[in-house]
Amino acid sequence: MVDFIPSELVRTIPENYFARIDRMIDVFENKGIDLIHLEKGSPDQPTPDHIVRALDRASRLPENQGYPPYGGKRSAKEAIASFYLREYGVTLDPETEITVFDGATIAIAALPHVLLNPGDIMITTDPGYPMYFSCPSLARADVYGIPVRAEDSFLPDYRTIPDQILEKARLLMLNYPNNPTGAIATEKFFADTLTFARVHNLPVVHDFAYAAFGFDGTRPRSFLQTPGAKEQGIEVYTMSKTYNMAGWRFGFAAGNASIIRALNRFHEMAHSDVFGAVQDAASAALLGPQDSVRDLCALYERRRNVLVESLRAIGWNVQAPKGSFFCWFRVPDGYTSETFVRALLERAHVAMAPGVGFGSHGDLFVRAGLLEPEDRLREAARRIQASGVLQTMSV
C-alpha cells in the first residue's frame, strides 16, 4: 500500500488532546475494571418522546426526502426566531439573521475561515473549549487565551490583553455557561464585552451550548439580550444539550446579518444541509412544551449538589459550578491536572478530564461531568476517599 503524505495543513492540525486521555482510559476498561466516568461530555438522558415522534412523522413527508433548502427550512428558522423571542425577548429576522448547521461544531469550525485571515488572532479564554484553540489553525490564524481565574468568577478581564495582540485581533469567542469552568456571564460582563468589541471593531461569537443550565435560581443570559449585541456579533446554539439531541446534529447561529451571510456562503461550499425531518423535529422541540428542559436542569443541579457535597464530606473543598453540566475542581497540592487524573484512574478507578487540556491556565484543575447517576457520584467520592489521593491536600 502506498503511504501518501497529507497536506501541510493536515500535518499541522493540533492533536486532539482528549483522544490521548481516552486511550489511557481504554487501558483500564479493557482490563474489565469498573470505571466511574466523570470525564464525559455527552448527555446521558434520552431525547424527549414528543421530539422523537415529531421526527418519525416528519421523515414520512415527501418534502423531507429530497435535498433541504440552503441555510435551513423557513419553518425551522421561524421556530428559532419564536424561541428567541419567547425565551430571551430577542427579535430575529428568520431570513437574514438565522442559519442552521448539522451540529454547532460545524459553525465553530467554520468561523475562523469566515472571519479570519492568515496571521489574524482570535481572542478567547484560557481555560476554554479545546476547539477554540485548534480551529483557527485551519485558517492559518492564531489564538490568544485571556487567563481567567476563580477570583474573577472565570470571566476575562479585557484590560489585561497586550496591545500587540489587540492590533491583530479580529474575533472574540466566548462561551457561557462555560465549558469547562461552569461559570455564568453577568449582564454587566456582556455589556462590558460589547463596549470592548466596539472599541476594537471585533465581531463577537458567543457559544451558548449550555444555555438551559443555570443553578441556584440563576438563568443564563443570552449575549443577544444585551442592547446592541445583535449588531456586533452572533450566538451559536445547539440542540444537543438542551433537548438531549446530541446525535441528531442540529445547531444554529443567530445575530449579525453580515456574519450569517458569510457563514451561509462558506457552508454552501463546504457542507451539506440538515435533513429536513431533523429540522422539523428541532422545530417541535423549540416550539413545544419545555417541561423536559426544566426537569433536565433540575436533574443536573441535584447531581451537582450530590457530587460537591460528597467530595466536601471527604475533605476535598471543591467549589460548586453556577451552570453547565460540568464541575471545575482544583487539584490537591502536589499534583498537576494530569498526575491527579492518573492517580484517580489508577487508585480510585474514577475518570476525570485534566484541566490542562482546556489551556495552560487549567493545569491546576480537573473537569468532572454531571452525566452519571447520583449513586455513582456518591460512589466516586467513596472511592476517592478510600484511595488516599487527597492526603497531600491542604484543607
Task: Please tell me the distance from the alpha carbon of residue 325 to that of residue 113, in angstroms, as a whole number.
Answer: 30
What's the pTM? Answer: 0.95
Residue 323 DSSP one-character state? B
Tell me the fold of 8-46+292-387.
Aspartate Aminotransferase, domain 1 (3.90.1150)
Burial class (CB in 10 A: 0-12, 13-18, 19+), 370: buried
The model's confidence at residue 26, banded by pLDDT at 50, 70 and 90, is confident
The arithmetic mean of pLDDT across residues 28-38, rounded, is 91
pLDDT score for 20 = 78
* Position 57 pLDDT exceeds 50: yes
Least confident stretch, 12-26, 42-56, 152-166, 268-282: 12-26
- pLDDT tens digits along 318-356: 999 999 999 999 999 999 999 999 999 999 999 999 999
- pLDDT tens digits along 360-389: 999 999 999 999 999 999 999 999 999 999
Phi and psi at 73, nearest 5°, equal -65, 145
pLDDT score for 147 = 98
pLDDT score for 392 = 59
Residue 21 DSSP one-character state? H
pLDDT score for 269 = 85
From residue 197, alpha-carbon distances to 160, 228, 249 in Å are: 15, 11, 31
The model's confidence at residue 70, banded by pLDDT at 50, 70 and 90, is confident
The model's confidence at residue 394, banded by pLDDT at 50, 70 and 90, is very low
Domain 49-287 class in CATH: alpha beta
Domain boundaries, the chain: 8-46+292-387, 49-287
Q: Which residue has the higher pLDDT, 273 or 205?
A: 205
Long-range contacts of 289-297 (CB under 8 A, 24+ apart): 289/50, 292/48, 292/243, 292/244, 293/212, 293/242, 293/243, 296/45, 296/212, 296/213, 296/242, 296/244, 297/212, 297/213, 297/214, 297/215
The arithmetic mean of pLDDT across residues 28-35, rounded, is 89
pLDDT score for 13 = 81
* Position 395 pLDDT exceeds 60: no
- pLDDT tens digits along 270-316: 888 899 999 999 999 999 999 999 999 999 999 999 999 999 999 99
The mean predicted confidence, pLDDT, of the chain is: 95
Residue 1 DSSP one-character state? -
From residue 138, alpha-carbon distances to 74, 105, 135, 266 in Å are: 31, 14, 6, 14
Task: Please tell me the distance from the alpha carbon of residue 125 to that of residue 135, in angstroms, as a whole number.
Answer: 14
- pLDDT tens digits along 234-260: 999 999 999 999 999 999 999 999 999
Q: Which residue has the higher pLDDT, 268 or 305?
A: 305
The model's confidence at residue 101, banded by pLDDT at 50, 70 and 90, is very high
pLDDT score for 226 = 98
State the distance between the two ends of the chain, measured CA to CA, in whole angstroms: 58
The model's confidence at residue 210, banded by pLDDT at 50, 70 and 90, is very high
The model's confidence at residue 112, banded by pLDDT at 50, 70 and 90, is very high
pLDDT score for 120 = 98
